[in-house]
Amino acid sequence: MNRSIYVIVWRIVFAASVMVMMVSALWAGLLRIGWALPLSSVAGMHGQLFIGGMLGTVIGLERAIAVGRSWAFAGPILTLLGGLGLLAGLPMTFSALLISGGSLGLLVIFALLLKRQPARFLITMALGALAWFGGNLLWLSGQPLAVASLWWVGFLTLTIFGERLELGRLRQLPTRAFWSFSLSVCLLGLGLIWGLFDYINGSRITGTGLLGSGLWLLTYDIGRRTIHRPGLPRFSAACMLSGSAWLAFGGLLMTIVGGTYGGLLYDAVLHSIFVGFVFAMIFGHAPIIIPALLNLPVRFSGWTYFPLGLLHLSLLLRVAGDLLPVIEWRRWGGMLNAVSILVYLFMTAIIIVVSMRQRSLTVMSVTNKIT
């Protein structure tokens, strides 16, 4: 098989599998908040599919491409198989082993990157990978999922935190910015370790680190400048700033509440971070990452503000339902969270198809002129 065709096939397989896991995770989340839907067997896999199966695979694939070594793709392949194993009904321990192996692969990648360039942003992302591996080990060892989820929060927060520092590394930041950055990272890490022995107060320390991270991004991130530029830079900045506000809110709520093993407050804290922060960042980064992965110039559309606005408004409804509490608000907020994500995916797919068609027409036009 031609190598280019081989690469295209693998990209399609990865993309299709990740989409299956995302939709399954959304479905599981709706089941968990009380919607009467079929296929209820996936309800207990919501977080595992989102963090390990979907986001872990995407982040691992992104880093494997950056390293450019064939062995680096073993990690995302393992997490992909682990996520699909969860859906296929394979033993949970087996799927957890695969995902844990994939997260170990990401750690090895960062070890190589740090050997090349021991920069602050890479150290931060490497600590995020370590938090993911630690959370997976906790899950594998049978610890309460809430304890593992705290480490998974650390994984995604530190990964994004490090990426944002990398994007703005050419800016002249004051010395206090680097001190406050490091302090937030240290508090977050300290909270994760403390939580192994005292989950309630360890979560409070972690929450303080999350609050500091959100406030740091709102104060120093490059998005404060790019928000004034039109088109994609403004959209990405709007995603970043709004997501950072949710991170700060989720961190504040975690600091006040402490560690909980379930219930409405647990839902409010986790989804403020996972939906409000993480998915806002996904919305903002996808128009940048997808063209790089597909080698395709994808045009920005102002319509993408619609699912972003729906994401935040529906999350406000959901969190209000958690805090007041009003169960119907929570249920409908969760439903609209899922709708906003699916609408964004649908719109992104349309933009990609249109861009591919336009490129094809351009190539045909040039060919006709030559001939």
Residue 1 predicted with pLDDT over 80 = no
- pLDDT tens-digit series, residues 251-265: 999 999 999 999 999
Q: Which residues lie closer than 8 Å to 133 by C-beta, 6 or more apart?
A: 100, 103, 104, 106, 107
pLDDT given for residue 69 in this prediction: 86
- pLDDT tens-digit series, residues 281-337: 999 988 777 666 666 666 777 888 999 999 999 999 999 999 999 999 999 999 999
Average pLDDT over residues 49-53: 93
pLDDT given for residue 348 in this prediction: 83
| Higher local confidence (pLDDT), 365 or 319 | 319
Residue 182 predicted with pLDDT over 90 = yes
- pLDDT tens-digit series, residues 115-129: 988 999 999 999 999
* Average pLDDT across the chain, whole number: 90
Going from N- to C-terminal start, the domains of the chain cover 1-118, 120-371
- pLDDT tens-digit series, residues 238-251: 999 999 999 999 99
Report the distance separating Cα 78 and Cα 73, nearest Å. 9
| Higher local confidence (pLDDT), 17 or 311 | 311
pLDDT given for residue 66 in this prediction: 83
pLDDT given for residue 105 in this prediction: 96
**pTM listed for this prediction:** 0.93
- pLDDT bucket at 361, cuts 50 / 70 / 90: low
pLDDT given for residue 362 in this prediction: 58
Average pLDDT over residues 102-118: 94
Residue 371 predicted with pLDDT over 70 = no
Residue 46 predicted with pLDDT over 90 = yes
- pLDDT bucket at 364, cuts 50 / 70 / 90: low
- pLDDT bucket at 146, cuts 50 / 70 / 90: very high
Residue 198 predicted with pLDDT over 90 = yes
- pLDDT bucket at 13, cuts 50 / 70 / 90: confident
